């Protein structure tokens, strides 16, 4: 079979890209290896740039009507007890304020915009090649069940260890030296927290708590991890015990109670991986009619909260370039898609390189580590003066879809 566009992966990037293409008149086939929508990570915070993208995709109202904004972020030093507020990074237009959302709610909001037959689950790719077809190039995707699908455009949205990214020759992600624990607490009687973010930093750790609803609280921990394989990914009870005994023992009782109320099915412990910025800046982000988006292009640490946000940007920018080409040529012409894909990759290249760099440096500073000078810089200078400037990356307009 020959499809106009095939998207590998039904995560945030894959579903958002399919919605963007639908907005410009292209139906995409989304191939997902899992048997349903994956919601690993429990929740995420969407910043102003993400809401601009969701406005373009036509789904923002589904989420803004459910989730509340937060205006303040407080950071407590667990060693000194000092509390400071992270200054706002600038005026935010009403409707685009930061909001934490359930990851599954975001995925469902995007998936509901697509025709029911757009997503094919339990579809695992084994190989990719190209072949000439009527003076142009087609991407040929080989499936585990021996089905062969040919695509006029192939977009890899298949995560950190992307098979499409590997085919393009992109460098493998590297370990950041830290791991992350993520979870969601459910407190039926209500948690009573204000709509604000609380973070606690200490020697080599950072823990944060973000209310999602009146009963749900998203929490995360980042900590030093020299070995990327040294984590408790498949044992939620062990994860909770490790966090409470080793990392949360100096937190106020309220926050220890939140961790105790964690829904064990949401707990994950995994290494934080990223692609070196220069490997993104000078890497092969596309080849002919094949490209990548989301973590497949620019895996980054979560320290600016831009992983999901930048994936939504990718979707709109790619949809914008393909839509412009279709409008100019009167349809999806395979040989013209090479230019559209190339223009998309070049527009995203330096934007995402900066996001990867800023996220890594932000995490490295906030983590503190054993160096007293770095901890002094974090507590006295970084949060007050440097972070607000870095956070300006959240005020970005990826454009509108035709």
Segment 32-45 mean pLDDT: 88
CATH 3.30.9.30 residue window(s) in the chain: 176-272
Helices (H), 91-157: 103-111
For residue 360, pLDDT beyond 90: yes
For residue 116, pLDDT beyond 80: yes
- Taking residue 363's Cβ as centre, other Cβ atoms within 10 Å add up to 22
Segment 171-199 mean pLDDT: 94
Cα(217)–Cα(70) distance, integer angstroms? 13
116-125, 228-237, 314-323, 378-387: lowest mean pLDDT where?
228-237
Identify the sign of the CA torsion 242, 105, 18, 69.
Answer: negative
Segment 140-162 mean pLDDT: 96
Q: What's the confidence (pLDDT) of residue 105? A: 96
Cα(235)–Cα(271) distance, integer angstroms? 15
Q: Are 27 and 21 in contact (CB under 8 A)?
A: yes
For 388-402, what is each residue's pLDDT tens digit? 888 899 999 999 997
Segment 225-237 mean pLDDT: 72
Superfamily for domain range 2-68+101-173+275-394: FAD/NAD(P)-binding domain (3.50.50.60)
Q: What's the confidence (pLDDT) of residue 68? A: 92
CA separation, residue 182 to residues 41, 87, 247 (Å): 6, 25, 13
Using alpha carbons only, how large is the chain's radius of gyration in Å? 21
19-23, 32-36, 201-205, 260-264: lowest mean pLDDT where?
201-205
Q: What's the confidence (pLDDT) of residue 283? A: 97
Q: What's the confidence (pLDDT) of residue 81? A: 93
Q: What is the mean pLDDT of the chain?
A: 92
Q: Are 101 and 63 in contact (CB under 8 A)?
A: yes
Q: What's the confidence (pLDDT) of residue 230? A: 60
339: helix, strand or coil:
helix
Cα(18)–Cα(32) distance, integer angstroms? 13
Q: What's the confidence (pLDDT) of residue 354? A: 97
Q: What's the confidence (pLDDT) of residue 219? A: 97
Q: Which residue has the tokens 């020697």?
A: 203
pLDDT > 70: percent of the chain: 96
335: helix, strand or coil:
helix
Cα(282)–Cα(156) distance, integer angstroms? 18
Of 302, 280, 274, the residue nearest 367 (C-alpha) = 302
For residue 91, pLDDT beyond 60: no
Q: What's the confidence (pLDDT) of residue 293? A: 98
CATH 3.50.50.60 residue window(s) in the chain: 2-68+101-173+275-394
For residue 303, pLDDT beyond 70: yes
For residue 155, pLDDT beyond 80: yes
3-12, 214-223, 228-237, 356-365: lowest mean pLDDT where?
228-237
Q: Are 26 and 332 in contact (CB under 8 A)?
A: yes
Which pTM does this prediction carry? 0.95
Cα(367)–Cα(206) distance, integer angstroms? 6
- Nearby residues of 272 by Cβ (< 8 Å), 6 or more positions away: 175, 176, 178, 179, 180, 222, 301, 302, 363
- Nearby residues of 276 by Cβ (< 8 Å), 6 or more positions away: 171, 174, 356
Per-residue confidence at 225, pLDDT binned at 50, 70, 90? confident
Q: What's the confidence (pLDDT) of residue 279? A: 98
Q: Are 37 and 107 in contact (CB under 8 A)?
A: yes
Per-residue confidence at 295, pLDDT binned at 50, 70, 90? very high
Cα(53)–Cα(16) distance, integer angstroms? 9
Say whether domain 176-272 belongs to CATH 3.30.9.30: yes
Q: What's the confidence (pLDDT) of residue 203? A: 83
Q: What's the confidence (pLDDT) of residue 90? A: 57
For residue 370, pLDDT beyond 80: no
């Amino acid at each position: 079979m020959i499809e106009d566009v095939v998207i590998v992966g039904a995560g945030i990037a894959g579903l958002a890209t399919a919605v963007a293409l639908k907005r410009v008149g292209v139906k995409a086939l989304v191939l997902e290896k899992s048997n349903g929508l994956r919601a690993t990570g429990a929740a995420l915070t969407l910043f102003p740039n993400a809401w601009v993208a969701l406005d373009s995709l036509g789904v923002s109202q589904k989420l803004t009507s459910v989730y509340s904004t937060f205006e303040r972020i407080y950071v407590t030093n667990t060693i000194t007890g000092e509390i400071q507020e992270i200054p706002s990074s600038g005026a935010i237009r009403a409707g685009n304020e930061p909001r934490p959302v359930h990851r599954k709610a975001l995925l469902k909001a995007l998936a509901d915009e697509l025709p029911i037959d757009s997503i094919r689950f339990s579809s695992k790719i084994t190989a990719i090649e190209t072949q000439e077809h009527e003076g142009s190039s087609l991407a040929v995707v080989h499936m585990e069940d021996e089905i062969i699908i040919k695509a006029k455009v192939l977009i890899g949205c298949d995560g950190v260890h992307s098979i499409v990214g590997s085919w393009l020759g992109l460098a493998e992600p590297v370990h950041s030296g830290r791991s992350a624990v993520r979870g969601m607490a459910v407190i039926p009687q209500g948690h009573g927290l204000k709509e604000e973010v609380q973070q606690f930093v200490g020697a080599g750790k950072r823990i944060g708590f973000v209310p999602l609803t009146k009963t749900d609280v998203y929490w995360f921990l980042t900590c030093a991890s020299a070995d990327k394989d040294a984590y408790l990914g498949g044992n939620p009870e062990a994860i909770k015990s490790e966090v409470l005994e080793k990392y949360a023992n100096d937190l106020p009782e309220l926050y220890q109670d939140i961790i105790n109320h964690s829904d064990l099915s949401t707990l994950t412990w995994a290494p934080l991986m990223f692609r070196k910025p220069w490997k993104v800046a000078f890497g092969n982000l596309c080849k002919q009619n094949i490209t990548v988006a989301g973590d497949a292009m620019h895996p980054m640490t979560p320290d600016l909260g831009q992983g999901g946000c930048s994936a939504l940007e990718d979707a709109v920018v790619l949809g914008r370039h393909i839509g412009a080409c279709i409008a100019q040529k009167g349809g999806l012409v395979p040989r013209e898609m090479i230019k559209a894909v190339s223009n998309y990759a070049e527009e995203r290249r330096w934007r995402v390189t900066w996001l990867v760099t800023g996220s890594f440096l932000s995490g490295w500073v906030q983590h503190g580590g054993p160096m007293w000078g770095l901890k002094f810089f974090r507590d006295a200078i970084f949060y007050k003066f440097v972070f607000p400037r870095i956070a300006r990356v959240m005020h970005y307009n990826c454009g509108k879809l035709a």
